[in-house]
Structure 1
Amino acid sequence: MTQTRWKKRLLWAAVWAAGIVLAAVLAGAFLFRHELKTLATLEKIDDNVLYTMKYDGDYGFDDFLLTGASTDGELVRFVTDRLLRGLPLEFSIPDLGCSTFSAWTEDGDRIFGRNFDLTYSPALVVETAPDNGYRSISTVNLAFLGFGEDKLPDTWKQKLITLAAPYAPLDGINEKGLAVAVLRIADEPTDQDTGKTDITTTTAIRLMLDKAATVDEAVSLLEQYDMHSSAGSCYHFQLADAAGDSAVVEYIDNEFVVLKADGGYQMATNFLLSDKKFNFGNGQDRYEILESSLNRCGGVVKDEQAGMDLLQAASKDWHVSETSGRLNATQWSIVFNCTDLTAKVVTGRQYDKPAHTFSLTQ
């Protein structure tokens, strides 16, 4: 065989091999197109630290609800297999302290405010649009997914972990104007066992945002599942909707309790409000700030900025936590507008700076 023919054969072999590699790359890009598109939107917008991300495609929440999860470990296994392709995931909810309120503005908008108090907590605002659910904006503490001051989603491998974000929301608003948030109670963890499908603290938030348009719908949904609270603690939820309804949902010794707003406005911190265990927990000082301010104005504040001012008044500078003994502070303050479907976020008590604004109408 001549040297020329050998060269031609080698050339064709190289072309064939390159074609196989290209086909594999294209197949991989197609297979992971939603994940790649999602991670391409991950952006750091505040050095304090705040990230944003727009989740592309579905994240399998309907499949999750078929079996549910009774522990954070079960949730991690589902998310690892479904979204992270086996990449190890840390998931923990530490000693968080929070304040929430629902109110009206003078223009007739329904607003819902939330302070998130904890140690250093990089935040992620994620927009989701599931195939079989409502679009929503929710806030995730990236520390729950293993991030911190010395580890942020700046490398490709670290960014992959943020694909778990839809399963770790702590507050949010959906396209129907339902806003929700979770607050910790220093009580025995909720561990219902009535034979219903199991959910955890953060998946309860995802359930309400994805599937409920009103407070009543959200309450009805929660009643259909057995709650298993995360991190060995107890929690209650505050909910508000565009029509003006508001409620606090608590689990008193595993019993489901709903407290509706009296007068169109409501507030909650880190103690129980139900008669059976009223005042159990902490945060009474922050509750008093919210209650006295809203009582004076009859639950009608001037505007969203007045709502943020109220959160500032109830916010916490660096202090020693009453329960954990660690240094905590307000990590983010957020005002959801259930009427306009927006969220205004301030991180690290930077109340003198313009809030970051997100919208579900754009």
Structure 2
Amino acid sequence: MHAVSSKRKWKKILLSVVAVVVVLVVAALAAVFAVWRNEIGAVTSIQMLRDRNDAHLDGAVYTMQVKGGFYLDEFVEQGGVSSDSELIQFITDRITKGVIKMDMSAPEIGCSSFTAATQDGDVLFARNYDFSKTNTMLVFTEANEGRHASISTVDLQFLGIDVDQNLTSMMDKITCLAAPYAPLDGVNDAGVSCGIYMTYQGGDETIPTDQNTDKPDFTSTTLLRLILDYADNVEEAVEIASSYDLHDSAETSYHYMVADASGRSAILEWTADDAVDTTDNDGSQRTLKVIYNDQDASIGQREADSSYQVVTNFVLQPGYYDGVPAENKKGADRYDRLYQELQAVSGVVPDEQAAMDILQIVGRRSWDNDDKNGCTVHSAVYNLTDRSVLWVTNENYDDPAAVFTFSLKD
């Protein structure tokens, strides 16, 4: 009897210990979920749209649904960041709670964009992203109080992810949580679209814009993030850009184009007053210049006569390239060709596919490149009226499996 009683006693103790362990594990899991539920949701949402094809310089393509506000309001409240390293620290501290370190970089990129209208009156924003083989992610963010939902495209190389392999590890997927802070182009549910393009400012050596006033700060891609989340139209996008000091990423320089569903668009450039390319060697002295589509006669007659805009990789400020070689105007040949195509149709195309066909003309595999970028990584035609996008990966324009459509209405 004593042995049986002793066994029952130890069984009760064992069951009690197991119960306590289970409770502690459940509590720990609940705590983890409470802290990281949005991050867990985003990581588990990652899906591959298309596998890599190294023979064609195709990286893999992924999607990610981002839950919650990814701490952007906190980013704004703290006054932004003034460098890539500060952005990395912000993302590490907030998104991974300091547990996982991250990295971000911005390689030299080429690009082309234009705005147009369809025959039905829809407003389009078209963009080629020219670079080299890399993995890509389409990032979907949800609307929050005072902020818009958006679709944007991210080059995962910016996040330090290996271009020569797929997202195979959990660490890679966790790193993708930084993707909302690195958009290259996108559209929000207010019908505002924007893109980023290198400008090679500073003559022989590219000099990044690095303003230092008493304004809050942002880096190149975080400017796009703020526009996508907070801007209702072009005017609000310009207001956001003018309210911050810009600190270009990766020791290079950029300009930007923004458009909205009304048909208004603008190109945002930071240059020193009265500077030319060879003397623009102090990024701290640059100020924002805005070129609206209906106020661009100073650039040239074709710009004055058109309601659409084109941007590639050279500064559009009149006189900026006075006395310097023509080759300093990177992308001038693509700029001229895009204007040629748009002038032929007075800036009105039948539909998104017709705009995509124009992008294909200046795709890098068929174009006489004026830089080292070997391919067009993605081509996107954002419909600002429908809040949708027609998206093609790696110049596979004739492959239905490489053509995708997404809509914020869905």
TM-score, normalisation: structure 1: 0.95
1:317 is matched with 365
Q: Distance in 1 between matches of 2:370 and 2:120?
A: 39
1:33 Cα shift?
A: 1.3
1:271 positional shift:
0.6
SS of equivalent to 1:331: strand
Q: Write out per-residue CA displacement over residues 34-93 of structure 1, whole angstroms, 9 at most, x where no aligned residue.
A: 111111211011124211111011111121122211111111110111112321212111
Q: Which residue identity does 2:152 align to in structure 1?
A: S
Q: Secondary structure at the match of 1:100?
A: strand
Q: What residue is the counterpart of 1:353 in the other structure?
A: 399
Q: Which moved more, 1:18-27 or 1:294-303?
A: 18-27
**Amino acid across the alignment from 2:261:** A
Matched, 1:241 2:260: yes
1:270 counterpart residue number: 313
Greater shift, 307-316 or 80-89, is seen at 80-89
Aligned to 1:341: 387
Contact preservation (8 Å) 1:343, 1:358: yes
Q: In the alignment, does 2:68 pair up with 1:57? A: yes
Q: Look up the equivalent residue of 1:264 and give its one-letter code.
A: S
Q: Give, in angstroms, the shift of residue 194 of structure 1.
A: 2.0
> Equivalent residue for 1:209?
228
Structure 1 match to 2:21: 17
Counterpart AA for 1:213:
D
SS in 2 for 1:290: helix
State the partner residue of 1:118.
131
**Structure 1 partner of 2:290:** 258
Q: Residue 163 of structure 2 aligns to which amino acid in structure 1?
A: E
Query: Quick check: 1:333–1:346 contact (8 Å CA) kept in 2?
Result: yes
**Deviation of residue 7 (structure 1)?**
2.3
Residue 157 (structure 2) pairs with residue 143 (structure 1): yes
Residue segments in structure 2 that go unaligned for 5+ positions in a row = 53-59, 202-206, 273-285, 295-305
How far did residue 27 of structure 1 move?
Answer: 2.3
CA distance in 2, matches of 1:243, 1:175: 13
Unaligned runs of 5+ in 1: none
Measured in 1, the distance between the counterparts of 2:153 and 2:342 equals 25
> Which residue number corresponds to residue 134 of structure 1?
148
**2:349 pairs with one of 291, 301, 322:** 301
Return the offset for 1:120.
1.1
Please, which moves more after superposition, 271-280 or 340-349? Answer: 271-280
- Spell out the pairing of 1:1-80 with structure 2 (5 A cutoff): 2-48=6-52, 49-66=60-77, 67-80=79-92
Distance 1:267 1:104, change over 3 A: same
Count of residue correspondences: 360
Please tell me whether the aligned partners of residues 68 and 199 of structure 1 are also in contact (alpha carbons under 8 angstroms): yes
User: How far apart, in 2, do the equivalents of 1:108 and 1:269 lie?
Assistant: 25
Q: Contact conserved, 1:59 with 1:130, CA < 8 A, in 2?
A: no
User: Letter of the aligned partner of 1:301 in structure 2?
Assistant: V
Tell me which structure has the larger Cα radius of gyration.
2
> What fraction of aligned residue pairs are identical, expressed as a percent?
39
- Distance change >3 Å, CA 327–CA 199, structure 1 → 2: closer
More strand by percentage = 1
Q: Residue 97 of structure 2 aligns with which residue? A: 85
> How far did 1:202 drift?
0.3
**Counterpart-to-counterpart distance in 1, 2:221 and 2:117:** 27
Displacement, 1:148?
A: 2.7
Question: 1 CA distance for matches of 2:188 and 2:319?
Answer: 32
What is the letter of the counterpart of residue 96 of structure 2? L
Q: Is the Cα contact below 8 Å between 1:152 and 1:158 reproduced in 2?
A: no
SS of the residue 2:8 aligns to: helix
Instruction: Return the alpha-carbon distance in structure 2 between the equivalents of residues 320 and 95 of structure 1.
Output: 18
Moved more, 50-59 or 3-12: 3-12
Does residue 285 (structure 1) correspond to residue 333 (structure 2)? The answer is: yes
Contact kept in structure 1, 2:189 and 2:408, CA below 8 Å: yes
Q: Equivalent residue of 1:36, what SS?
A: helix
2:237 matches 1:225: no
Comparing 118-127 with 304-313, greater Cα deviation is found at 118-127
The CA deviation string for residues 147-205 of structure 1, in whole angstroms up to 9 with x for no partner, is 13334322222110111111000100000101100000111211112210011100000
Shift in Å, 1:14? 1.9
Q: Secondary structure at the match of 2:151?
A: strand
Aligned-partner Cα distance in 2 for 1:233–1:272: 14
Q: Secondary structure at the residue paired with 1:271? A: coil
Residues in 2 aligned to 1:301 and 1:150: alpha-carbon distance in whole angstroms = 37
